[in-house]
Chain A
Amino acid sequence: MKNAWPEWLFVLGVGLSLSVVLNHHSAKGLDLARDYFPSGMPAGSGRTVGSAESSSGASTAPTFENEVAESIQRLEQKGFQAIGTDEVLALMQDPRLEAGMVVLVDARNETLFQERHIPGAYLFDHYQMDQYVDLVLPMCQIAEQVVVYCNGGHCEDSEFAATDLVQLGVPQEKLFIYAAGMRGWNEGGHPVALGDRFDDFDELRTLLQVSPEPEDEQP
């Protein structure tokens, strides 16, 4: 490949330049200067075992309950308060939720939020924070209690979102992380809302009315 340098320059130079420009201008592009994993946890630490959980036939694969327990331990080490499904369910019946004194924050992405979310939750995707912060931050500042969740288990996005909120001035004492997250919520068969947030309270009332009480299921 004698005298091939123009071709190398073209392939590498133009390719890399285009990559830089397209990432910069893409709506989904990454901000190179932003630390998307602000927990201070070194990349890959503890992740090798985590990766084994998704390996089929992995006899050491942790159960979801173990994952949640590990998450709670990690959250407490970082000074966050973890709450469980029963407490979130109790908040669903709490009039403070509709009054905005309790705020639920869904830290997953928009696609997952649209598919299903806990009724009344605000979308706050940590990775696209700029799109949501203007709406969610004032709500969190007013609220007495803010509950953040993501998919649950090893999902760390709720921690990252909570860290964002703390950095933006929301007192950490107000913040609670629902460690079981959407997976734990789904497994409990609790009411979910679809699509955007706005009609959730109507949906919630309907869902709670039609949801059978555990006693009713007894013969």
Chain B
Amino acid sequence: MKNIVVTLIRVLIGGMFVYLGWTKTQDPVAFLKSIREFGVLTEYWQMNVVAGWLPWFEVWCGLLLVLGVGVRTAAATVGGLLLAFTGMILWRAVQVHAAGDIAFCDIQFDCGCGTGEVVVCYKLVQNSLLTLGSFGLAFIKEHRLALWPHVRIGKPLEE
């Protein structure tokens, strides 16, 4: 039962990354504009690198999770990305909240997540759960229904 749940979580998170990453690859300009809205990156090449490369990297990480290749590392990477995304969304939401007389959970904006305009509270909760799930996957040693769960060179390590 535990294996089924772990596999489902892995496929769900991986599938989301593939879908959302692919959506961004199909309209990198929209993603670029979203990144600019955050105002964190100041140099144009920094924004271009993130908007041009990150969506494909998300698709890659998502595929690794779905297929079960290098699962623990892919999951840790996805967790790290989610942590960064969540921090950015929170930071911007706090700025919007401070700029106007808006209840925090009424704030909506396009976070550049590939889903259009979102309610910030909902997005933060969703991302937090996905982050926990990803790091959870990274701590689990054995993964079933995975093509190549541990990418190793040479002889397999003795457990």
Residue positions of A touching B, CB distance < 8 A: 1-4, 6-8, 10-12, 14-16, 18-20, 22-23, 26, 28-37, 42-45, 47-52, 54-61, 109, 127
Measured in the bound complex, the distance between the Cα atoms of B38 and A53 in whole Å is 15
- Residues from chain A with Cβ under 8 Å of B25 in the complex: 22, 26, 28
Contacts of B27 in A (CB 8 A): 28
> SS class of chain B's interface: helix, strand, loop or mixed?
helix
- Tell me the bound Cα distance from A50 to B110 in angstroms: 12
A36–B48 CB distance below 8 A: yes
> Do residues A23 and B109 form an inter-chain contact, with CB atoms below 8 A?
no
Chain A residues positioned under 8 Å from B103 (CB to CB): 57
In whole angstroms, how far apart are the Cα atoms of A49 and B106 in the complex?
15
Contact flag A4-B106 (CB < 8 Å), given A16-B53, A48-B99, A52-B100:
no
On whether the beta carbons of A3 and B152 are closer than 8 Å, the reply is: yes
Residues B56 and A23 in contact, CB atoms below 8 Å apart: yes
User: How close is A25's CB to chain B, nearest CB, in angstroms?
Assistant: 11
Q: Which residue of B lies closest to A128 (CB)?
A: B29
Chain A residues with Cβ below 8 Å from B18 are none
Contact of A44 among B36, B61, B99, B110 (CB under 8 A): B36
Q: Which of B39, B48, B100, B107 is close to A30, meaning CB atoms less than 8 Å apart?
A: B48
Is the CB–CB distance between A55 and B96 below 8 Å?
yes
A15 touches B110 (CB 8 A): no
Q: How far is the CA of A52 from the CA of B39 in the complex (A)?
A: 14
Interface centre among B38, B48, B74 (most CB of A within 10 A): B48
A8 to B151, CA, bound (A): 9
Q: Is the CB of B28 within 8 A of A28?
A: yes
Q: Tell me if A31 and B157 are in contact (CB < 8 A).
A: no
In the complex, what's the smallest C-beta–C-beta distance from A90 to chain B, in angstroms? Answer: 32
Q: Which residues of A have CB within 8 Å of B77?
A: 11-12, 15
Partner of A36, one of B32, B95, B106: B32
Which residues of the other chain, B, contact A44 by a CB distance below 8 angstroms?
36-40
Query: In the complex, are the beta carbons of A47 and B36 less than 8 A apart?
Result: yes
Q: Is the CB of B48 within 8 A of A60?
A: no
| A residues near B106, Cβ cutoff 8 Å | 55-58
Determine if B48 and A34 form an interchain contact, defined as CB atoms under 8 angstroms apart.
yes
Instruction: State the Cβ distance, A48 to closest chain B Cβ, in Å.
Output: 5
**B150 at interface by CB-CB < 8 Å:** yes
In the assembled complex, how far is the CB of residue B112 from the closest CB belonging to chain A, in whole angstroms? 12
Q: How far is the CA of A19 from the CA of B25 in the complex (A)?
A: 10
- Going nearest first, the 4 A-B pairs with the smallest beta carbon separation are A44-B39, A57-B106, A30-B52, A19-B56
- Measured between beta carbons, the chain B residues less than 8 angstroms from A127 are 29, 32
B73 and A8 contacting across the interface, CB-CB below 8 Å: yes
Name B106's closest neighbour in chain A (CB-CB).
A57
User: A52 touching B102 by the CB < 8 A rule?
Assistant: yes
- What's the minimum C-beta distance from A11 to chain B, rounded to whole angstroms? 5
Contact B152 A58 (CB under 8 A): no
Most buried by B among A15, A16, A26: A15
Residue of A nearest to B103 (CB): A57
- Within the complex, what minimum Cβ distance (angstroms) separates B1 from chain A? 26
Q: CB < 8 Å: which of A1, A2, A42, A61 contacts B42?
A: A42
Pairwise interchain contact B92-A51, C-beta atoms closer than 8 A: yes
Beyond A3-B157, A6-B153, A54-B109, 6 additional pairs, beta carbon < 8 A: A7-B150, A23-B52, A28-B28, A29-B52, A32-B48, A54-B117
